[in-house]
Structure 1
């Protein structure tokens, strides 16, 4: 199955501004505690994109994970895997909070952290598209975040999701966070930009609306229980305060990384691309644009060895 994006997809279509803004305003999921546990760092400019992304998600969700694994991670034999760990910010933070647990991060060499690890952390270089180099039923918690633009939809379905479930222990938890490329309450330049990005991804087999497919991919393994999903909207721009500033910086850095390929795909010069990016950053302020993130988590069930059926 390849990527199925179409500009006619109702999930892509830009909402009328008044509807989109009301949806954002009314979203119960975006309400934050009056005294948040996690604050945003003050210095935005000096953070790399992956770190910016981590702190944004941590503040938005007011947690580093949602699966009910807190007590498990406090035990001395708990094992955690972060797939596509990037620079390891998520792992470094949790390893401090849960010193008894063992954390493993896996990614390609270009992303792996350069700083030293603590005794309960290790990092492995590996191409995720070739599966995971671990035995069945190894980890109590398997975590993965924001790999839509790096892994094709077919690989997600045929390899990645199956591997996440395979290496989790029976009774262990799998958690995936992804975002949708389409923007809501979007202006014309923003729609042009996101439409081109979606079509570019689709041309390479990637799906900018992968969140729509993940539940069915997980269910197809036949080895998970109920799949829980929570959504949060992220505002883009200074109009939404520090969160909006972090979000537009993260998104701007992402599309800047794609400049060479995406400008060629759009048949425009890199200078025209840069101007479009500037117009985009102005429009999200004017139209109060936002996009959506999704958090899925589910528990691996025991499977009857004779029948191969899940034991619920």
Structure 2
């Protein structure tokens, strides 16, 4: 996950992957702003690992596109904003003949302990994906709902399409915050008046997920956009996967930066907010059935 929400540049890079050595400069003020949104600890990275495997369980697989045969024979795959590289590491372990690439602004991906057919590049994707046109058979992006501004999505999607080969596939997967289903008042307050309100201040719309299908459909050279929606109950009433999802939520909501932001937005002291999370919310989750809904969209790039 995680790229700096800076101003887009539509300049297309035509460098070869082996030549890419992007340089990133982040000012002190930008770095402080990023701390709330990007992983900054082992707990954050563990949360990202867990989130990837929860989605894999929900969808019964890492992808919905028809690319299994190509992966077995050997093809080229890119994960945009790959975070710690969990999705890629899982695929690379199974498909030995394919080549895998991950790109992210923050180097939390493994630098040495990784398969030889998996490569990571540090770059700010909001300025463009650092690969030439028509480079990959499969391009994936997940969990960027908290990062991309409303005005960035169209450019980002156009970049996903640009680096995909004709006949290749694009897949995006995001949490659907536009539906608060079977949610109790505590969780609703945290998400709506906390996270959603905080995101809007950055011009980030956490409820954009259902509109991403139309945005992908509007891109040039795209065939029919398919969609799949899965949900899991957060908390003990959702079984093992629900408990895992509860842990992911609590981990994200409990970081120092999040506590500072959320307590202010909700009109609480930090101590009151922590009690609200670890007492009121956990009690509520024992008697409610809130849905964690995830949407996956995918499409093929035209052959012509």
- What is the TM-score normalised by the length of structure 2? 0.80
Partner of 1:284: 285
Q: Secondary structure at the match of 2:62?
A: coil
1:107 and 1:124 in contact (8 A); partners too: yes
1:234 and 1:290 in contact (8 A); partners too: yes
Report deviation, 1:261.
2.0
Partner of 1:261: 261
Cα deviations by residue, 1:255-304 (Å, 9 ceiling, x for unpaired)? 2232222222333221122122122222122112112100101001134x
Partner of 2:217: 219
Q: Secondary structure at the match of 1:111?
A: coil
Partner of 2:56: 58
Structure 1 residues 124 and 247, CA gap change in structure 2 (3 angstroms): same
Cα deviations by residue, 1:150-181 (Å, 9 ceiling, x for unpaired)? 22121112x21110000000100001110023
Partner of 1:302: 303
1-side partners of 2:88 and 2:192: how far apart?
34
Structure 1 residues 151 and 99, CA gap change in structure 2 (3 angstroms): same
Q: Secondary structure at the match of 2:152?
A: helix
2-side partners of 1:219 and 1:241: how far apart?
36
CA RMSD of aligned residues (A): 1.8
Q: Secondary structure at the match of 2:138?
A: strand
2:137 and 2:168 in contact (8 A); partners too: yes
Cα deviations by residue, 1:14-66 (Å, 9 ceiling, x for unpaired)? xxxxxxxxxxxxxxxxxxxxxxxxxxxxxxx9981011111111111111111
Q: How does 1:4-43 map to 2 (within 5 A)?
A: none
Partner of 1:244: 242
Structure 1 residues 111 and 149, CA gap change in structure 2 (3 angstroms): farther
Partner of 2:47: 49
Aligned residues: 257
1:211 and 1:294 in contact (8 A); partners too: yes
Structure 1 residues 236 and 207, CA gap change in structure 2 (3 angstroms): same
1:82 and 1:144 in contact (8 A); partners too: yes
- What is the TM-score normalised by the length of structure 1? 0.78
Partner of 2:166: 170
- Quick check: 172-181 or 267-276, which moved more? 267-276
Q: Secondary structure at the match of 2:171?
A: strand
Partner of 2:274: 274
1-side partners of 2:233 and 2:157: how far apart?
29
1:227 and 1:296 in contact (8 A); partners too: yes
1-side partners of 2:164 and 2:281: how far apart?
41
Report deviation, 1:107.
0.7
- Quick check: 255-264 or 91-100, which moved more? 255-264
2-side partners of 1:288 and 1:86: how far apart?
30
- Structure 2 unaligned runs (5+)? 1-42
Report deviation, 1:111.
3.1
Which of the numbers 76, 88, 92 marks the counterpart of 1:91? 88
